[in-house]
């Protein structure tokens, strides 16, 4: 091999080696860039995760601060729910008794309509009973005054003794029955109102 051939071959080998080194350098640089990008992304993710952790800690602290108040509110709501269930059961039982439909649960709207109608009827009954009582009181006073004008108005029992003198036993029983019915009619709406309150 002549020196010229050897030089040419040497230059080709050097050119190939330079090309290989350049390729390695490009690949190494690309790897570093990629590594740097990955490092930046990892850092950004770490910062985001840290911010999320901080936010969760703050949220947890707020929840812990609100826990006693929330516990009280939950207890109030549970008590209200229990009371509503009790009232619903009582209203349903009253509806069953009034309608005779013991195998049927009433529609809530129908039950409310029935309760409102019942309440209005009870109020009308109470007003009517009150008017009857006032009429009977006036009648007893009138009869008492007729029998004995000097009777003590505060002493109804004493007035009854004087009235008995001028009334027949049948008349006296009729008045007593009317007063008893009126007292009962007045007491029933109050008792029912107390149950449904």
pLDDT digits (tens, 9 = 90+) for 87-142: 889 988 988 888 888 888 888 888 888 888 888 888 888 888 888 878 877 877 77
Token match 């029935």: residue?
114
In the predicted model, is pLDDT for residue 166 greater than 70?
Answer: no
For residue 135, is it within any domain?
yes
159 pLDDT more than 50: no
Confidence at residue 161, expressed as pLDDT on a 0 to 100 scale: 47
Could you tell me the CA-to-CA distances from 108 to 3, 4, 114, 183 in Å, in that order?
113, 111, 10, 33
- Give the dihedral sign, CA 129/161/144/150: negative
Of 120 and 172, which is predicted with more confidence?
Answer: 120
Q: Is residue 116 part of a domain?
A: yes
Supply the mean pLDDT for the chain. 77
Residue 87: inside a domain? no
Spatial distance between the Cα atoms of 197 and 119, rounded to a whole number of angstroms: 12
Integer Cα distance of 183 and 74 in angstroms: 44
Does 72 map to a domain?
no
Do the domain assignments include residue 38? Answer: no
Query: Looking at residue 106, what DSSP letter applies?
Result: P
Q: Is the pTM of this model over 0.85?
A: no
Tokens coding 87: 């009232």
Choice among 43-47, 83-87, 130-134 with the minimum mean pLDDT: 130-134
Hey, what's the torsion of the CAs at 156, 159, 160, 166, to 10 degrees? -160
Q: Using N-to-C axis directions, what is the helix angle for 108-147 and 3-99, rounded to 10°?
A: 30
Is residue 82, in this structure, part of any structural domain at all? no
In a domain, 144, yes or no: yes
Q: Name the residue range of residue 116's domain.
A: 107-196
pLDDT beyond 50 at 163: no
The total domain count for the chain is: 1
Cβ proximity of 179 and 132 under 8 Å: no
171/140 Cα distance (integer angstroms) = 12
Residue 28 lies in a domain: no
């Amino acid at each position: 091999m002549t020196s010229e051939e050897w030089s040419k071959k040497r230059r080709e080998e050097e050119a190939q080696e330079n090309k290989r080194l350049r390729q390695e350098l490009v690949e190494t640089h690309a790897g570093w860039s990629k590594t740097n990008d990955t490092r930046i992304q990892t850092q950004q993710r770490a910062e985001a995760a840290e911010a999320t952790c901080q936010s969760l800690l703050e949220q947890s602290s707020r929840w812990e601060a609100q826990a006693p108040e929330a516990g009280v509110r939950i207890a109030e709501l549970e008590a209200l729910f229990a009371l509503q269930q009790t009232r619903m059961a009582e209203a349903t039982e009253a509806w069953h008794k009034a309608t005779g439909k013991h195998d049927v649960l009433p529609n809530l709207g129908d039950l409310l309509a029935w309760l409102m109608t019942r309440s209005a009827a009870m109020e009308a009954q109470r007003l009517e009973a009150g008017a009857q009582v006032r009429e009977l009181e006036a009648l007893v006073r009138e009869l008492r005054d007729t029998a004995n004008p000097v009777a003590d108005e505060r002493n109804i029992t004493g007035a009854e003794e004087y009235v008995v003198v001028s009334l027949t036993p049948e008349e006296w029983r009729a008045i007593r029955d009317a007063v008893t019915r009126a007292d009962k009619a007045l007491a029933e709406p109050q008792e029912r109102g107390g149950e449904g309150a």
